[in-house]
Chain A
Amino acid sequence: MTPLDRKLLRDLWRIKGQAAAIGAVIAVGVLLLVMMSGLVTSLDETRRAYYERYRLADVFAPVKRAPQHLLAELSALPSVAAVEGRITGHALIDLPGLDIPLRARVVSLPEFHAPRLNGFYLSAGRAPQSDRNDEILLLKGFAEAHSLQPGDTLDITMNGARHKLRIVGLAQAPEFLYTTAPGELMSDDARYGVIWISMQTLAAAYDLEGAFNEALLSIGRGAQSPAVIHAVDRLLEPYGGFGAYALADHGSNRFISEEIASLRATAAAVPPIFLAVAAFLLYIVIFRMVEAERGQIGLLKAFGYSNLETAAHYFKLILAIAAGGATVGCVLGVLAGRALIDLYLLYFKFPFLIFQLDPGSFIAAFSVSIGAASAGGVTVLRRVFRLTPAAAMQPIAPPHYRPLGNVARSLQSVLDQPSRMVVRRLTRQPGRMAGAAGGIAAGMALSVAMIGIMNGFNQAIDLTFNVIDQSDVSITFNEPLSDTTLANLRSIPGVIAVQPARHVSAVLRHGVQRHLGVISGMTTNARLYRAVDSRMAPVPLQAQGIVLAEALADILKVQVGDLLTLEVREGRRPTLRIPVTGIAQNLLGSPAYMELSALNHALGEPNRISGAYLRVDSAHQNSVYRVLKDMPAVASVSLKQDARTALQTQMDRGAGAMRYIMMAVAGIITFGIVYNAARIAYAERARDLASLRVIGFSRSEAAFVLLGELALVTLAALPLGAVLGYYLSFAVAAGFSTDLYQIPATVQPVGYGAAALAVIAAATLSGWLVKRDLDRTDLVLALKARE
């Protein structure tokens, strides 16, 4: 081993605390990078393979009733590769022991062949025989949630009629990777099922003999889906087409796409922050080291070491810390990825999901962390290399004494000597002090933002379930009913209040922007479910106008006053031009609201409702559910409490769980920065402090000089960190938000307090660690050391 390498090892050992702190920051950045990009790769790749293997359709075209012979015409459309017609519908599953029936989707299986499109993966049992119309496949997740197995029978209500059907197998399918009940956003295995059943049975149940109500199409490679969708829409129009949509708009696929997109965005945005912080810390450490070793560098050059050889020595130090951190980060990233991927399986129902590494992330992790770290070292070394060896070996001229201003001078007169030393240093090297304060503030800002996000999640839930939705139960009907039904509902003992609703699907257009969504008709002065603005005040619904959720307004790029085109897909399918009269605050989904009678009028179906919100006396809730369950017109009953629990669970797992990781990470960064600042202050002053001790100052007085400085810098960082955190929380909130739900940035005073406490705790711990070293120093050695 060369003597320089031995020096390297000793240097590393000497700065081990700092090296570990910086290495940890790098490791965290790399961990996140490797983990997230690995998750992205795994989800993306597995999804692609799953879709391909089970032939997921590219275009979905729901229709009211289309004759079978239309399928031939569909497959004759240009660039259409394969077509399948099927029947799907809503059903209720009545499980013994449950008060309300559970909702399910039924999907037909072709009679004499395997599905050409949208196949399924059989995870247990067998497929139904074509001549047996009482055999079904059940979605695996639902079956497991209720401990159902092949051989069990189920009571299923389809289109108002009850059937007893036998489970022969359990299945999973790419179109049901993520299943949500209509009108809900969060998946809940226990509350929504999927049933595959023979085409014949379904045709009989829904009066669709010789017809289908959903066409599936796959299109050739390179073909454009908008053109196909347009052609399909034209073909299905006379049969009551609800509007074809591409796979990208398919609910399950959209969810997983959103998840992947937000992971990818986080993977691109967050790790660089850590690597930048690490580069900054390394820069300071190397800067200080090179500065302190100027003489030694001059000496090396005097002996004939070239710039390159000298730089290589310091580069190796950087490399050791950066590569060490990156290696640890890679290992932890793989472990964390493996652990997290199982969490994803909880709500993305892949039959298999293996954590796959993205090899690019390894390369990126190493090159970025080493590159960032070296960038710091190179700039400092270049300055030293510009000096001749003789000049480099000269001791540095003492820092310039600036004449003190009046304020400082009068301050001086009241301070004792150690306090004066603190003040003098702060005023003499304001740049360096500002740098340290800025670094600590950055750490605190991260904590503030992360605490803000924690709040945001809770606030999203609170707004959704306490402010917007104040009902207990929402029900939907099989068909739109006359509003006299409301009186029936009101007369159920235990029902306190009823609010009518009408949901129709529609395409919303503004310019080139298009969104396939649902319009909710609601009465003015609604109480149980309402649109609210950002100040939580109800947004009034006007007879002529539509109110959009903020997210939807963003998608369509509209503002209040703009005209929107609505193509309603139900009833007489009117096309409306209607002004936007309000923007509603909505953190879940992207709903649109219209006044109920105005919507009905536009549809030409006065006094119709398709569902209702109920408030129920909790003492009577079970009897209310029983009555609802027996009403044939009721297609679904859902309890707000269940939806809330599902959302909470989801936010605590998966993407939401990321906030806990980020919180821990903010803590590591903050400590890393504060500890480094303390270490550097100590290293720069070790000699001064020893001199103080020699001339008779006590240990605690010497410590005061050092820790006083750290305390002042920390105090200065707190307000700065609060301000930075305020702004950072918006950026982080935007990062956590998806098209499907928005997380608001809300930092409450207690959040700033907690972050400040974390910084102060980190500073105290760092101060204690440094003071421990200070107490242990050998005075003579400290004075003798040239550093």
Chain B
Amino acid sequence: MGKRSGNQLQNAFTTRGVWKVYGEGATEVQALRGVDIDIPAGELVVLLGPSGSGKSTLLNILGGLDRASRGDVLFQGRNLAAMTDVQLTRYRRDHVGFVFQFYNLMPGLTAYENIELVTEIAGNPMPADHALALVGLGDRGDSFPSQLSGGEQQRVAIARAVAKQPNVLFCDEPTGALDSITGRTVLRVLKDINEQLGATVLIVTHAAATADMADRVIHFADGRIRDIQRNAHKRDPSDIEW
């Protein structure tokens, strides 16, 4: 409903000619090779593509964690590429939620504190235990990451990103380590954030079936967009095949 009441026509992200080159000379890797993309505000977008095709790289650049080597990245009309470090920090703090491919929990903090770390500095967060309950870990708040399984750590990472109630949410393989039941629960949480808060959600995944719940599916290959497809009928997470 938030999505419909917002300005539907405005793009959350617009990129033009975005390149990302790692290293130089013989070891040079072109991770992104001219990415042009428009992501309308409030949509749930799924990014599909083979390993090494540059998905994480693109997510990092859109999320303000890294800078493009070339090209423009506009968020609500403001160019991330031209921002200072301080402005980028502000952008991440005020707008972005991130679920990392490798969870990246702080080992010295409990699950609860890992979430607090983000809600502490967010403008409109939900309570940390509420976020934990959403991912089915309401009773594990006092566990340290080393005491959690891989899947549990992944769910804490998702709770952490969601707890902030961000404008844009980036999820790099959010369900990779999850079984079908918890996987569907997590996707449901992402869909709720998208629909109830009107947040723009970008999900990178290898599970093609996840694409069925998206407004838009972007196929990625060799650092470029191969194809964009719109779903006329979005499936509910509970109907998704695992």
By a beta-carbon cutoff of 8 Å, the part of chain A in contact with chain B is 2-4, 6-7, 10-11, 295-296, 299-307, 309, 388-391, 393, 781, 784-787
Contact status of A388 and B66, CB under 8 A, knowing A304-B121, A393-B100: yes
Contact status of A303 and B107, CB under 8 A, knowing A6-B113, A388-B67, A390-B60: no
Contact status of A7 and B108, CB under 8 A, knowing A306-B89, A785-B146: yes
Do residues B120 and A3 form an inter-chain contact, with CB atoms below 8 A? yes
**What are 14 pairs between A and B in contact, CB < 8 Å?**
A3-B106, A3-B113, A3-B120, A7-B108, A295-B104, A302-B63, A303-B118, A306-B86, A306-B89, A307-B85, A307-B89, A388-B66, A390-B60, A787-B107
Alpha-carbon distance between A393 and B89 when the two chains are bound, in angstroms: 15
Chain B residues with CB below 8 A from A11, complex form: 108
Alpha-carbon distance between A300 and B65 when the two chains are bound, in angstroms: 11
Chain B residues with CB below 8 A from A389, complex form: 65-66, 92
Do residues B117 and A3 form an inter-chain contact, with CB atoms below 8 A? yes
Chain A CB within 8 A of B173 CB:
no
Alpha-carbon distance between A494 and B93 when the two chains are bound, in angstroms: 98
The smallest beta-carbon distance between A291 and chain B, in angstroms, is 15
Chain A CB within 8 A of B116 CB:
yes
The 5 closest A-B pairs by CB, nearest first: A304-B93, A390-B66, A3-B113, A304-B92, A390-B65
Say which residue of B60, B94, B114, B146 sits within 8 Å of A304 (CB atoms).
B94
Main secondary structure of the interface of A (DSSP, over half): helix
Contact status of A302 and B92, CB under 8 A, knowing A390-B60, A390-B65, A390-B66: yes
Alpha-carbon distance between A787 and B121 when the two chains are bound, in angstroms: 26
Alpha-carbon distance between A305 and B63 when the two chains are bound, in angstroms: 14
Say which residue of A10, A295, A303, A787 sits within 8 Å of B93 (CB atoms).
A303
Chain A CB within 8 A of B109 CB:
yes
What 15 additional pairs, Cβ within 8 angstroms, besides A301-B92, A303-B121, A393-B104?
A7-B113, A11-B108, A301-B89, A302-B63, A303-B93, A303-B98, A304-B91, A304-B93, A304-B94, A306-B93, A389-B66, A393-B100, A784-B146, A785-B107, A787-B107
Do residues B104 and A6 form an inter-chain contact, with CB atoms below 8 A? no
Alpha-carbon distance between A307 and B88 when the two chains are bound, in angstroms: 12
Say which residue of A3, A306, A781 sits within 8 Å of B114 (CB atoms).
A3
Alpha-carbon distance between A707 and B53 when the two chains are bound, in angstroms: 46
The smallest beta-carbon distance between B20 and chain A, in angstroms, is 10
Chain B residues with CB below 8 A from A304, complex form: 89-94, 96, 121
The smallest beta-carbon distance between B211 and chain A, in angstroms, is 25
B97 to A, closest residue via Cβ: A303
Chain A residues with CB below 8 A from B120, complex form: 2-3
The smallest beta-carbon distance between B118 and chain A, in angstroms, is 5
The smallest beta-carbon distance between B163 and chain A, in angstroms, is 11
Contact status of A299 and B106, CB under 8 A, knowing A304-B121, A389-B66, A391-B66: yes
Alpha-carbon distance between A303 and B66 when the two chains are bound, in angstroms: 13
The smallest beta-carbon distance between A306 and chain B, in angstroms, is 5
Alpha-carbon distance between A304 and B95 when the two chains are bound, in angstroms: 9
B85 to A, closest residue via Cβ: A307
Alpha-carbon distance between A301 and B86 when the two chains are bound, in angstroms: 11
The smallest beta-carbon distance between B110 and chain A, in angstroms, is 8
- How many chain-B residues does the 8 Å CB contact rule pick out? 29
Chain A residues with CB below 8 A from B104, complex form: 295, 299, 393
Chain A residues with CB below 8 A from B108, complex form: 7, 10-11, 296
Alpha-carbon distance between A2 and B96 when the two chains are bound, in angstroms: 21
Chain B residues with CB below 8 A from A305, complex form: 89, 93, 121
Chain B residues with CB below 8 A from A388, complex form: 65-67
* Chain B 114-148 near chain A by CB (<8 Å), digits 1 or 0: 10111011000000000000000000000000100
Contact status of A302 and B121, CB under 8 A, knowing A3-B114, A784-B146, A787-B107: no
A10 to B, closest residue via Cβ: B108
Chain A residues with CB below 8 A from B114, complex form: 3
Which of B85, B89, B116 has most A Cβ within 10 Å?
Answer: B89
Chain A residues with CB below 8 A from B65, complex form: 302, 388-390, 393
The smallest beta-carbon distance between A522 and chain B, in angstroms, is 76
Chain B, range 35-60, C-beta contacts under 8 Å to A = 60
Alpha-carbon distance between A301 and B90 when the two chains are bound, in angstroms: 10
Do residues A4 and B117 form an inter-chain contact, with CB atoms below 8 A? yes
Alpha-carbon distance between A302 and B120 when the two chains are bound, in angstroms: 14
Chain A residues with CB below 8 A from B116, complex form: 2-3
Alpha-carbon distance between A3 and B122 when the two chains are bound, in angstroms: 14
The smallest beta-carbon distance between B111 and chain A, in angstroms, is 11
Chain B, range 61-95, C-beta contacts under 8 Å to A = 63, 65-67, 85-86, 89-94
Alpha-carbon distance between A170 and B110 when the two chains are bound, in angstroms: 74
Chain A residues with CB below 8 A from B121, complex form: 303-305, 309
Which of A307, A388, A787 has most B Cβ within 10 Å?
Answer: A388
The smallest beta-carbon distance between A142 and chain B, in angstroms, is 68
Chain B residues with CB below 8 A from A4, complex form: 117
The smallest beta-carbon distance between A743 and chain B, in angstroms, is 51
Contact status of A303 and B146, CB under 8 A, knowing A7-B106, A7-B108, A393-B104: no
Alpha-carbon distance between A784 and B67 when the two chains are bound, in angstroms: 31
The smallest beta-carbon distance between A288 and chain B, in angstroms, is 15
Alpha-carbon distance between A520 and B154 when the two chains are bound, in angstroms: 91
The smallest beta-carbon distance between B173 and chain A, in angstroms, is 15
Alpha-carbon distance between A10 and B107 when the two chains are bound, in angstroms: 11
B114 to A, closest residue via Cβ: A3
Contact status of A303 and B86, CB under 8 A, knowing A3-B109, A295-B104, A388-B66: no
Chain A residues with CB below 8 A from B91, complex form: 304
Do residues B98 and A302 form an inter-chain contact, with CB atoms below 8 A? yes
Chain B residues with CB below 8 A from A3, complex form: 106, 109, 113-114, 116-117, 120
The smallest beta-carbon distance between B46 and chain A, in angstroms, is 21
The smallest beta-carbon distance between B83 and chain A, in angstroms, is 12
Which of A6, A304, A784 has most B Cβ within 10 Å?
Answer: A304
Say which residue of A303, A391, A781 sits within 8 Å of B92 (CB atoms).
A303
Do residues B106 and A296 form an inter-chain contact, with CB atoms below 8 A? yes
Which of A4, A300, A306, A390 has most B Cβ within 10 Å?
Answer: A390
A3 to B, closest residue via Cβ: B113
The smallest beta-carbon distance between A389 and chain B, in angstroms, is 4
Alpha-carbon distance between A476 and B82 when the two chains are bound, in angstroms: 93
Do residues B107 and A786 form an inter-chain contact, with CB atoms below 8 A? yes
A392 to B, closest residue via Cβ: B65
The smallest beta-carbon distance between A209 and chain B, in angstroms, is 91
Alpha-carbon distance between A300 and B108 when the two chains are bound, in angstroms: 13
Chain A residues with CB below 8 A from B100, complex form: 393
A304 to B, closest residue via Cβ: B93
Alpha-carbon distance between A305 and B85 when the two chains are bound, in angstroms: 11
Chain B residues with CB below 8 A from A6, complex form: 109, 113
The smallest beta-carbon distance between B65 and chain A, in angstroms, is 4
Chain A residues with CB below 8 A from B86, complex form: 306
Alpha-carbon distance between A389 and B92 when the two chains are bound, in angstroms: 11
Chain B residues with CB below 8 A from A786, complex form: 107
Chain A residues with CB below 8 A from B85, complex form: 307
Which of B67, B106, B114 has most A Cβ within 10 Å?
Answer: B106
Alpha-carbon distance between A4 and B108 when the two chains are bound, in angstroms: 9
B145 to A, closest residue via Cβ: A784
Alpha-carbon distance between A2 and B106 when the two chains are bound, in angstroms: 14
The smallest beta-carbon distance between A719 and chain B, in angstroms, is 41
Chain B residues with CB below 8 A from A781, complex form: 146
Chain B, range 138-195, C-beta contacts under 8 Å to A = 146
Chain B residues with CB below 8 A from A306, complex form: 86, 89, 93
Chain A residues with CB below 8 A from B109, complex form: 3, 6-7
Chain B residues with CB below 8 A from A393, complex form: 65, 100, 104
B102 to A, closest residue via Cβ: A393
Alpha-carbon distance between A306 and B113 when the two chains are bound, in angstroms: 19
The smallest beta-carbon distance between B93 and chain A, in angstroms, is 2
The smallest beta-carbon distance between A305 and chain B, in angstroms, is 7
The smallest beta-carbon distance between B79 and chain A, in angstroms, is 17
Chain A residues with CB below 8 A from B67, complex form: 388
Chain B residues with CB below 8 A from A785, complex form: 107, 146
The smallest beta-carbon distance between B56 and chain A, in angstroms, is 9
